Amino acid sequence: MTYAIPAPAQRSLSIAGSAERFPVNRIFCVGRNYAAHAREMGRDPDREAPFFFMKPAQAAVDASTPATIPYPPRTRNFHHEIELVVAIGTGGADISVESALAHVYGYAIGLDMTRRDLQLDARDKGRPWEFGKAFAASAPVGAIHRAADIGHLEHAAIALTVNGQPRQASDIDKLIWSVAESIAQLSMYEALEPGDLIMTGTPEGVNAVLPGDVMLGTIAGLGQIEVRVAN
């Protein structure tokens, strides 16, 4: 086959302990999945059905080694959101909670970088979030750790520092919708495919970063990621 114009490059992520790479298909994100973060966003953390938004695969940045992302245009409030990332290895529709984890290839640390001013302006006007959430380099993700190697995470400290100062700290056992429940809910609306990523939501403490800032994200069992905002 010959393409008429240059075809987009396949985005991929590192896999811990392997020379193979994980091809990124779609990036689904769970909104407000920690009660304390829902509260800080001015929303009631009652356990209503989860909601999802998306980023393009082109948002993914391999942060398995220290990475640098640009400070994006048209914002004055560029926020970090540290999140557990689920990498889907086997697709499916209407996946049950009981079988959901069998669809997981592995787990990684990710950042759902957000132009908060654009997101909240869109939210308050009832418009889509795209320009606040789905922009280039808005999803740095560390190496994927295979579930076959490390099992499935139920309790794990999750934390982010900026320039060494604590910003976010919680535990993934505080997820309102667990990994298995999120997979089941999402697959009711859209058949999951191999290569899909699910960013499972951020705990409280989201805040702005500035050019030159260095974010260090950790999830127990998944190592760390270091992401710098370019000057």
Binding site for Mn ion (CB under 5 A): 81, 112, 202
Q: Which two tokens stand for residue 60?
A: 């993914």
> What dihedral angle (degrees, nearest 10) is formed by the CA atoms of 43, 73, 159, 227?
170
CB of 99 to Mn ion, least distance (A): 26
CB of 60 to Mn ion, least distance (A): 14
Query: Residue 65 phi/psi, 5° resolution?
Result: -125, 160
CB of 17 to Mn ion, least distance (A): 27
CB of 39 to Mn ion, least distance (A): 15
- Closest to Mn ion by CB, 37 vs 146, is 37
- Closest to Mn ion by CB, 21 vs 43, is 43
- Closest to Mn ion by CB, 15 vs 168, is 168
**Secondary structure of 183-202 in HEC code, one letter for each residue:** HHHHHHHCCECCCCEEECCC
Residue 134 CB neighbours (<10 A): 19
Q: How many CA atoms lie within 13 A of 143 on its CB side?
A: 16
| Number of helical H runs and strand E runs in the chain | 5, 18
- Closest to Mn ion by CB, 15 vs 88, is 88
Q: Which residue is nearest to Mn ion (CB)?
A: 112
